[in-house]
Amino acid sequence: MDLWHRATYLFGKRKEGRTVATEAFEELVEDFEFLDDWEDRYRHVIDLGKAMEPLTEELRVPATKVDGCASQVWLHTQFEDGVLHFDGASDAMIVSGLIAVLQKLYNGVPAAEVSAIDARAEMGRLGLNEHLSAQRSNGLTAMIERIRGEAAQQG
C-alpha cells in the first residue's frame, strides 16, 4: 500500500470512530505478509528486539518490572503532551521482540486512545496469538495490561 493510500486508510478508520494501530505497526503488518512461515516471523520478532535501544539499568527497578511474565520484563512509560512513549527490556530474546512489537502498536498514541486498541486482534494480524506458548501469551497480556493501565491513569 503506498503512502497516500495508507494515510487515507488510517484517516478513514479514525473518521469512522475506530482507533487503528500506528503507521509503524501497519508497516510491520506489511513486513509480516512477506514472511512465509512462523519460523521466519519468529526470527523477525527476535531481530526487532535486538534492534531496540537498551533500557538503562537505572530504569530496571521494581516500579518498572512487569509481574506475570515468566522472564524478567521492564516497561518504562512516559507521556509527553498526553501521548504515550515507552521503552522496555527483557532477559528473553523473544520477549524483547514482543516489547518491540508493542512499541510499534502503542508508541505515539494519545493516552485516551490506548484502551480503544484491541491489542490481541492486532497481534492476530501478525499471526502471533496462535504461536506463543501459554507462558509467553500470559506475559504478553501482562505487558498489554501494564501499558493500558498506565495510559488510563494519564487519560
Query: Which residues lie closer than 8 Å to 126 by C-beta, 6 or more apart?
Result: 28, 29, 32, 41, 101
For the stretch 108-124, pLDDT in tens is: 999 999 999 999 899 98
CATH domain 20-154 topology: Sufe protein. Chain: A (3.90.1010)
Q: Is the pLDDT of residue 64 over 60?
A: yes
Q: Does residue 106 surpass a pLDDT of 50?
A: yes
**Catalytic positions, written as ranges:** 69
The domain ranges of the chain are 20-154
Count, residues in the chain: 155
Helices assigned H by DSSP within 34-133: 38-51, 93-106, 111-114, 119-126
Q: What is the pTM of this model?
A: 0.86
